[in-house]
Amino acid sequence: MRNFSIQDTVWKNPGHELDNIAENILNRNHHFYFYGKGDEILNFIRKHEFGSSGMKLNIIRGAQESEVSDYDGIAIVSEQDAADDGNGIIIHVSHDRGEWEQALDKWRKKGYELNRNLFQGEVFAAVYEVYGLGELRIDRIEIFLTSICTLNCEKCIAYIPYFKKPKITPLQQLKEDADLLFQRVDYVHKLKLLGGEGFLYPYLIEYVDYLHTVYGTQIGSVRIGTNGTIFPNKELLEMCRRNNVIVDISDYTQAVPNMCMLDEVKDVCEENGVAVDVKRTGEQWLDMGFPVNLPKERTEEELRDHFHKCAMFCRQFFNGKYYFCCSNFAAVHTGMFSEDANDYVDFRKEISKKEILEFELGYSSKGHTTFCNVCRGGSEEANPCKIEVARQMRRGM
């Protein structure tokens, strides 16, 4: 998840940093008003099962709800009705930072205070689930399978061209990591399996079968990342179908037109009953800088500001360690960047759900990752340096 709303993330009292926020969220005298686009609100309520929470829920009316008075028993009200409620809590559900900042400005002008009676939706939900339900639910976690890839993208966020020799994560390690992860985490909405090229991991069938059989009820969706340059064989397609895997295909048709078979891979997946999600169509990449074109040296204050502008959304779980930033993990895994205990929490040690949630929101001893020193950032707010998608390097460079 991207945290836009909690800025001071230097750990001062681990396990209790969110206590005051939780007290406001769990106050049963409060009425809760969801704000944003209609479809996003409904998806948010379904995702977090607020409809069955017993909370006093309302939806703030948008243009598309002008003739509707409720949705499944949840009242649809005007902004003015919400603003007039002295016990009202506003929950803004959009994932878009610009929309969040517009909403923050609007409701602050109406007298609302951030993280007292005005909340970023995903932060609200995460705190409610841990403090109210005793459940830790993580939005997205990435799992590194292999550095083997058919492409050699110069600005790969996983730094695949910089691995000195191919790496394949042992199947037993992946299973043990899954056991550790789900001992601490109650639910992962998206578990994404990546490389390199996901379909080139030699134990993919055995691993996904294990995840589905043992932890299927704790995972919203398993996703396999592929670059669309190779076809999954019949055994892989059957595994994906029976385990309800979603295949995420990155669109590199312009970058490597002689190799990318996006349409053909998409078609063969769908013909075999496998769901597909095409990624990055029409987008550009961000040049993260590392390991060349490093940003200028920053002060601690500048690093924390950069960290919050970036608001990195992708966590990585590897060898029992939960890394805040997937690029940080990748740089460590290539051997190009030193590992630092500030940048991960170790699930092999005693740690509470509240501490893991705090880390998920960006808390650490420094209030930023050490990798922020050498990275331009993973959001447009932090990093204006855009480049073409999947520019290729010669092997061995």
**pLDDT attached to residue 279:** 87
**pLDDT attached to residue 67:** 59
**pLDDT attached to residue 283:** 78
**pLDDT attached to residue 65:** 53
**pLDDT attached to residue 248:** 97
**pLDDT attached to residue 62:** 76
Distances (CA, A) of 251 to 40, 133, 229: 25, 39, 10
In terms of C-beta density within 10 A (0-12 exposed, 13-18 middle, 19 or more buried), how is residue 39 classed?
exposed
Q: By three-state DSSP, how is residue 282 classified?
A: coil
Kindly give the interhelix angle for 204-215 and 234-242, rounded to the nearest 10 degrees.
10
What predicted TM-score, i.e. pTM, was given to this entire model? Answer: 0.95
CA dist., res. 361 & res. 364, Å (int): 9
User: Is residue 326 a contact partner of residue 314, using CB atoms and an 8 Å limit?
Assistant: yes
Question: Mean pLDDT for each consecutive 10-residue tract of the chain (397 residues)?
Answer: 96 98 92 93 92 89 64 87 95 95 96 96 98 97 98 95 96 98 98 97 98 98 97 97 98 93 97 94 86 92 97 97 98 98 98 98 98 96 94 81
CA dist., res. 397 & res. 160, Å (int): 12
